[in-house]
Chains A and B, each alone.
Chain A
Amino acid sequence: MKVSLFATCLTNAFYPEVDLTMAKILKHLGHTVDVPEGQVCCGQIAFNSGYVDDAREVARTLINSFERSEVVVGPSGSCIAMIHHYYPTLFENEPVYLKKAEDLIHKSYEFTQFVVDVLKKPDLGAHYKAKATYHPSCHATRLLGIGEAPLKLLQHVNGLELLPLPEAQLCCGFGGTFSVKMPKISEAMVAEKAEHVLASGADILLGLDMGCLMNISGYLEKINKPVKTMHIIQLLGEGMKS
């Protein structure tokens, strides 16, 4: 299969290794990988802040860059959820782009969903010895309905002990601009999330959205707690090296 990567704006700027590793894993599974030019961002940050017109242009750019792709895969439940749930409203008055948006919706997947549900490859032969816990990001879980896929991937990692995260359903307080617009509320939320992460007894916190992980790790760092945070992709990538 020819897979086009959607390198989200966050991973592109801050965590390029996540995108790179995603490419490696997909290649390892025997697929051709390309990264269409011009792509930047799903537009969510503007959309969620109420700047719909600005969001629409950013979304249009994204749609255009994937127009010729067969399948689009991205390392974020939140960005894929943006496409699936809100692109139809964004372009409701533009039949041409509405059609293109629907095309994109049908061919785009969050990484774990793609590997487990589409490729049916829950076992990547990875080996990683650690105690880890998993934070189910809100948009991935509630908007995309991703439940089992990431867990299946993790259960197949040799040596990985997966510990339950108390009150896992609670939002970490990131919420895009929420974290800077309502910083104190956001801090209270991430403080509670950190409390639960520490209580889980895990050495590594895993997730499938760098936004949430950036938030939680930023807080854990600030309070000097040595829990490491990793995208599932990073853990798999490391685990597949050995």
Chain B
Amino acid sequence: MTNTNEFINHLASKLGRPTPTETPPPVEISVPQYRLSNTEERASIFLQNWQALGGKGAIVKSENDMLQCLKEWFGDLPITWFKDNPQALIAWDMLPSIAESAFSTLNWPLTRYTQSSLDPRDRYSIAAHAELGITGSDLGIALSGTIVMNSDPLRGRVVSLLPPRHLAFIETTKIRNNLFEVLEEISALGTPPAAIEMISGPSRTSDIEMDLSIGVHGPIEVYVVVIDN
């Protein structure tokens, strides 16, 4: 194993000067960025882009909208799922309240991922066998149709990863214009969380004869409900 100082000094010698002791002045970046004028526009462009990637999405304004939307997407499927697997719906500990109450009204019981088992391996297995993973989102990106989720003790990173379907909720006010704004906001918080996941559509691959196929490892179907309240 090489000693850090030795390694760094070697680079400094290759650069022909001692290692700077202060952070070098940052480079100037002046690339004009993509911007939309208001929240509403951001929400609708976000949705368009998300759908273009192959995700399903809708904007809801009320609990009633929410119910309609979930029923339309999933119909009686959850009921069928529960017959084989009472833990078919796996979710973060907390979802937006309008979503929580929709699930109660529909009588679709949610399994809270973090409380599903004490052993992480068991939790992974529960998530892997679930039919639908349900999460919130911290931020969204209109330009690329992206949802952004920070890791957190009450959440679980695999909820958006292991089940074959992923349903996410996002408030319109959380949707930003571009990646730059998102990264700026996250870095303002200080040390980043252990994982920031940015998800743009379903899992995909073109590895076989450049033929696009959906859902190789991550979720095959992805759904976003944009909450406008």
A/B: CB atoms within 8 Å of each other: no
B-side residues, CB < 8 A to A, are none
